[in-house]
Amino acid sequence: MDPKAFDSIHRKLLCWYDQYQRILPWRAASGERPNPYHVWLSEVMLQQTTVATVKDYFIRFTQRWPTLQDLSQSSLDDIYHQWQGLGYYSRARNLHACALALSELNEIPRNPDELIKLPGIGAYTSASIASIAYDFPIIPVDGNITRVISRLLALKTPLPKLKDLIFDIVSPYQPNRSGDFAQSLMDLGATICTPKTPKCDSCPIAKDCLAYAQNKQNQIPVKAIKSKKPTRYTYAYWDENLSNEIALIKRPDRGLLANLMSLPTSEWVDYEEELPPLTPGQILLDGYVKHVFTHFTLILRCVKQVSHSEYTGTRYPRDSLNNLALPTLITKTLTYYKIIELNR
């Protein structure tokens, strides 16, 4: 894209953004400076999660922890509890670690090269925070921006290599009002240049769009061929004593669901036949819970311990489980098998 064409698109998008920008709880009002804490928190929450889902979580977080200093003084368990339901709990761990690191710096860095050194912040997030919070002249490349630019230039490179190509294309440009320009691209992708049935008649840069000119906007970006997700299997053990106290464990500090409270489970195996045999006093309950992770699907069945258990770990009253920071998989299991009723 030559500089003149870029300048024209830059101008059109900012004019459109000034009139049609989305109102989001983490965005500064027009004419106000962005709150870097809000920008950082929202960008972490938005990693692999939709804007619609994040809104309520963001509001609850900022009501509970209005400032970065407040968040840095919280416990990881408190953050887990507020995070419950957002998934990808490594983000919550990194959020806590990052808050501690930032509290020592006394501010959120302005340069993406410094931001990327912090826990949970990669190339896109560092660019997005720097651009939106501080107007650092860089263009972050997320899914929405990838779609807009790939259609604008009619790029045929399939995902995921497409993102790297677009990053190389936009890197030389240092736009004015960098944060607003980045958010104009994001908003255009979210509301006009959508994955399916884009609203090209309402697009402020439709006349500049090569995919639209070629009537290929529905074929671009070219998707990668997805392989079928494997399925894994596990048992969750429902061990409840006569005092209606249920055995829970804290999962290891590495891997999926790290550091979270959970029903004890068997090893997660690739074939159902590899699940461990039941012992006397155990009953396999009907039904199963299906939970989709990023790279595989998990089938979980519940085993109830009906005889006296020698389990000596931590037990929690049944009616207290709703107050614990439990991963979505375990909450689904507890409600599916009617161990608890979800009240949150």
Identify the pLDDT of residue 310: 66
Which residues of the chain form CATH 1.10.340.30? 3-213
Q: Is the peptide bond before 276 cis (omega within 30 degrees of 0)?
A: no
Cα–Cα distance for residue pair 269/300, rounded to 1 Å = 11
3-state secondary structure of 284: strand
On average, the pLDDT of the chain sits at 91
- HSE-CB for 73 with a 13 A CA cutoff: 7
Cα–Cα distance for residue pair 190/154, rounded to 1 Å = 19
Which neighbouring-strand residues pair with 232? 298
pLDDT at 276 over 70: yes
Question: Exposed e or buried b for every residue in 92-106, given b needs 16+ CB within 10 A?
Answer: bbbbbebbeebbeee
Q: How does pLDDT run across 297-342, given as a tens digit for each residue? A: 999 999 998 766 666 568 899 888 888 878 889 999 999 998 877 6
How many Cβ atoms sit within 10 Å of the Cβ of residue 325?
Answer: 18
Give the CATH fold of the 231-336 domain: Nucleoside Triphosphate Pyrophosphohydrolase (3.90.79)
Which residues of the chain form CATH 3.90.79.10? 231-336
Identify the pLDDT of residue 84: 84
Name the band, by pLDDT with cuts 50, 70 and 90, for residue 77.
confident
Kindly report the backbone phi and psi dihedral angles of residue 341, in degrees, each rounded to the nearest multiple of 5, phi listed first: -105, 130
Cα–Cα distance for residue pair 279/335, rounded to 1 Å = 25
CB proximity list for 36: less than 8 A, separation 6 or greater: 107, 108, 129, 133, 134
Query: The whole model's pTM is what?
Result: 0.78
Catalytic residues: 43
Q: How does pLDDT run across 79-110, given as a tens digit for each residue? A: 988 998 888 888 999 999 999 999 988 889 99
> Domain 3-213 - what CATH class?
mainly alpha
* Element spanning 188, H or E: helix 178-191
Q: How does pLDDT run across 7-52, given as a tens digit for each residue? A: 999 999 999 999 999 999 999 987 889 999 999 999 999 998 999 9
Q: 84 is written with which tokens? A: 């419950």
Identify the pLDDT of residue 340: 79
Handedness of CA 312, 318, 322, 328 (dihedral sign): positive
Rounded to an integer, what is the distance from CA 12 to the centroid of its chain?
30
